[in-house]
């Protein structure tokens, strides 16, 4: 007979798994090690999570929730950018999972709460169309991923990491300025593509 849901226990297990991820990456997240970290037993883990994949989904969800708690108070795109850099450069193991999850969700068309937050801030700040916000967000994501990887490799609190951050912020400002400077006529065409030759037109 399946166990009744116990949100408190399940949250404790997921939090323990996330701590192990931060310390040693995915290889450190064995079901046994998670059980020890959570102060429970391996059979109990399997009663709550069918397999390691199910547990990983819980870890991804918790990691996303923690990141959103840091990003949501930021009212500008630049504020989001800097907060994202600080948070992820300090958590290299978790960042690897973040990048992998981004690609998987993007290809599958799944919900992407952090990406959607960036798009929302871009629309608010620039008045961009949905398509422009999507394009700008993808460009910013690429810039973020590369910068965080460089900062992690250099060491988060080093001269080279600070230079990478400075250069990436400069690039972000130029990117936002380029999108902001696009003529409104171009924005309208981007938001509403012109019908092709096979598209039937309504008679006037």
Using one digit for the tens of pLDDT, what is the confidence trace for 21-42?
999 999 999 999 999 999 999 9
3-state secondary structure of 2: coil
Query: Which pLDDT does position 185 carry in this prediction?
Result: 46
User: 3-state class of 102 per DSSP?
Assistant: helix
Give the separation between CA 190 and CA 132, rounded to whole angstroms. 7
pLDDT at 10: 96
| pLDDT of res. 203 | 45
Q: Which residues of the chain have pLDDT under 70?
A: 1-5, 183-204
- How confident is the model at residue 4, as a pLDDT? 64
Q: What pLDDT, on a 0 to 100 scale, did the predictor assign at position 138? A: 97
**Per-residue model confidence (pLDDT) at position 197:** 52
Task: Indicate the average pLDDT of the chain.
Answer: 90
Distance CA 77, CA 69 (A): 15
What's the rounded Cα separation, in Å, for the pair 180 and 187?
10
Taking the model in full, what pTM does it have? Answer: 0.85
Q: What is the tens place of the pLDDT at every residue in 159-176? A: 999 999 999 999 999 999
Superfamily of domain covering 1-59:
Homeodomain-like (1.10.10.60)
pLDDT for position 204: 42
pLDDT at 181: 85
Q: What share of the chain is helix, strand, coil (3-state, %, to 5)?
A: 75, 0, 25
């Amino acid at each position: 007979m399946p166990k009744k849901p116990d949100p408190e226990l399940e949250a404790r297990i997921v939090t323990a798994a996330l701590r192990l991820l931060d310390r040693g990456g995915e290889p450190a997240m064995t079901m046994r090690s998670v059980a020890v970290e959570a102060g429970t037993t391996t059979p109990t883990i399997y009663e709550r999570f069918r397999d390691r994949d199910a547990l990983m989904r819980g870890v991804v969800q918790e990691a996303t929730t923690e990141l959103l708690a840091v990003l949501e108070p930021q009212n500008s795109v630049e504020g989001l950018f800097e907060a994202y850099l600080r948070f992820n450069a300090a958590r290299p193991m978790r960042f690897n999972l973040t990048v992998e999850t981004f690609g998987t969700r993007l290809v599958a068309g799944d919900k992407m709460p952090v990406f959607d937050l960036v798009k929302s801030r871009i629309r608010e700040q620039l008045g961009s169309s949905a398509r422009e916000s999507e394009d700008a967000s993808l460009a910013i994501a690429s810039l973020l991923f590369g910068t965080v990887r460089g900062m992690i490799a250099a060491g988060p609190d080093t001269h080279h990491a600070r230079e990478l951050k400075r250069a990436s912020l400069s690039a972000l400002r130029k990117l936002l300025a380029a999108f902001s400077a696009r003529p409104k006529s171009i924005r309208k065409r981007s938001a509403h593509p012109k019908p092709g030759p096979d598209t039937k037109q309504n008679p006037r």
